Amino acid sequence: MRAVILAGGKGSRLAARSNGLPKPLVTVNGKALLEYQFELLARHRVEEATVLCGYRAEDIRRFCGDGSRWGLRVECVEETAPLGTAGAVIAALDELPEEFLVLYADTMVNVDLGRMFAAHRASGAEGTLFLHPNDHPWDSDLVESDENGRVLGIHGYPHAEGALLPNQVNAALYVLKASALRGMKVPEKPLDFAKHVFPELLRRGVHLHGYRSAEYIKDAGTPERLDHVAEDLRRGVVARGSLAVKRPAIFLDRDGTINEDISYLTRPEQLKMIPGAAEAIRLLRGAGYRIVVVTNQPVIARGDCTTADLLRIHDSMEMELSREGAFLDGIYHCPHHPDKGFEGERAELKFRCECRKPGDGMVRQAVRELNIELDGSWLIGDRTGDVQTAHNCGIHSVLLRTGIGGRDQRYTAKPEYMFDDLAAAARFIVQQNDERLAAEQNAGAAER
Ligand SMILES: [Zn+2]
């Protein structure tokens, strides 16, 4: 795989920090933004990079050299006129291989590129867009996709009043096939991928895939954002932000844990969040855990709700969470139910599966897909089945007094802890985690 790094911007928004340097060479914690990207590529064995430059191209060329400093082969290509992000790539197509990765030089990225490439290949798409949740989806361009990840549309803001869209923001990281772009003319005016090229490709019926991930990717193009990224680097948030790094997780049940259990939740407008749940998720994620929802949704097998309906409910839940800066790394649902013979049911989903809790199927899938370390992981829920699932997976268990509050009494497994709600559980886990880290640091200091 070859990477194409868009480094042509003048960086006028960063002028106060750049000392006249072009934006890709602005340093954060002592290192140029472009260097972080070269290191990312080298870590993922992406050994060739084409840097598309414009403003102060000579400085960038001198900085890159031949790339061997990073174990890469780097070439710089200078654009003759500013053509915008997509325009620059289209103009350079003849020098690019059939498939390539596109990165923007003013972003800080720590994404497991190998996983993204694998998802791109598995989808068979002409292009894959990295999509991530952010904390201001209402004023972001949001990408709508179907249950297989195929991109259906790109919704620029302002969004239509009352529109329910997923918190999937185009994060300016793509895998593209040159053939998909070949039909597009080299533009005379600047062209942007999200505003011009992807909508045009969708109109032509080109298959674009949305790769959804909450890994670390942030625009560093203004002084405030640069400071934010610097702080994230210092606190280790960037380093642990990639799925290439194994992390413990907090597995969360949905109904009765995050949102009120109304027993037949089949439409997004019925969703009502439990107070403090979003703040709890924000705290836990800030402490370095991956946050994964695992939920039994037999409403699908019963025919009360389609998978598409369920995804709309989850879109709504993630929008509510994002208002408080809370994000999920994944949502896994079991659509099955073991008992056959009801009117309106979907017979093909009526069987004894391994994913329905207390089965460990959803947790095992998340462990594979999100590189989770079970040691130090927790499962929090309001039913005895959640506690039993935790036991079956060998992870810590918390039973909450919200929702059913364990009154279902279906399974006999005893919870390690009980709390009034998710907020109380989160405070406890975060405090325990802080104490453990402090003890480790002290032990380390004593050894030194
Ligand atoms: Zn299942």
User: Which residue is it, tokens 């480094």?
Assistant: 7
Do both 67 and 105 map to the same domain?
A: yes
Q: Is residue 234 part of a domain?
A: no
* 383 Cβ neighbours under 8 A, 6+ residues apart: 253, 256, 403, 404, 406, 408, 410
Tell me, what's the pLDDT at 84?
A: 83
Instruction: Tell me: do 10 and 67 sit in the same domain.
Output: yes
Same domain, 38 and 156: yes
446 — pLDDT class (breaks 50, 70, 90): confident
Is 192 an annotated catalytic residue?
A: no
Separation of CA 334 and ligand 1 centre (Å)? 4
pLDDT tens sequence across 66-119: 999 999 999 999 987 788 888 889 989 998 999 999 999 999 999 999 999 999
- 345-387: per-residue pLDDT in tens? 898 898 899 999 999 999 999 999 999 999 999 999 999 999 9
- Nearest CA among 176, 173, 16 for reference residue 100: 176
Q: What is the pLDDT of residues 224-255, one digit of tens each?
A: 999 999 999 999 999 999 999 999 999 999 99
* 254 shares a domain with 222: no
Cα→Cα distances 309→135, 190, 390, Å? 24, 39, 28
Domain boundary among 173, 194, 229: 229
Å from CA of 332 to ligand 1 middle = 10
Q: Which domain holds residue 417?
A: 246-440
On whether residue 236 sits in a domain, the answer given is no
Same domain? 221 vs 116: yes
Q: Is 255 a catalytic residue?
A: yes
How far is 3 from 257, CA to CA, in rounded Å?
A: 43
How far away, in angstroms, is 295 Cα from ligand 1 center? 10
Domain boundary among 198, 229, 260: 229
Shared-domain flag, residues 362 and 425: yes
Distance 395 CA to ligand 1 centre (A): 20
pLDDT at 185: 81
> Which pLDDT belongs to residue 188?
81
Residue with tokens 């649902």: 333
Residue 400 backbone class (left: φ over 0; alpha: ψ -120 to 50; beta: rest)? beta
Helical pair 422-447 and 277-286, crossing angle rounded to 10 deg: 20
Whether 113 and 258 map to the same domain: the answer is no
How far does residue 42's CA lie from ligand 1's centre (Å)? 39
Residue 80 amino acid letter: T
The answer to pTM > 0.85 is yes
What is the CA(337)–ligand 1 centre distance, in A?
7
With left for phi above 0 and alpha for psi between -120 and 50, is residue 379 left, alpha or beta? beta
The 10s digit of each residue's pLDDT in 92-103 is 999 899 999 999
- Percent of the chain whose predicted confidence (pLDDT) is above 70: 100
Mean pLDDT over the full length of the chain? 93
pLDDT of residue 332: 97
**Amino acid symbol at 59:** D
* 337-351 tens-digit pLDDT: 998 888 888 988 988
Q: Which of 232, 255, 315, 421 is catalytic?
A: 255
Judge if 183 and 45 occupy the same domain. Answer: yes
Residue 9, pLDDT score: 78
Task: Flag whether 110 is in a domain.
Answer: yes
pLDDT tier at 444 (50, 70, 90 boundaries)? confident
pLDDT at residue 16, rounded to an integer: 74
The verdict on 116 and 168 lying in the same domain is: yes
Q: Which of these is catalytic: 232, 253, 360, 386?
A: 253
Question: Cα(309) to centroid of ligand 1, in Å?
Answer: 17
Mean pLDDT, residues 180-201: 88
pLDDT of residue 361: 97
Count of domains observed in the chain: 2
CB atoms within 10 A of CB 448: 4
Indicate if the pLDDT at residue 13 is higher than 80.
Answer: no
pLDDT for 327 beyond 90: yes
Closest CA to 7 of 48, 39, 54: 54
Beta bridge partners of 217: 109
> Distance, CA 172 to ligand 1 centroid (Å)?
35
List the CATH number of the domain containing 335: 3.40.50.1000
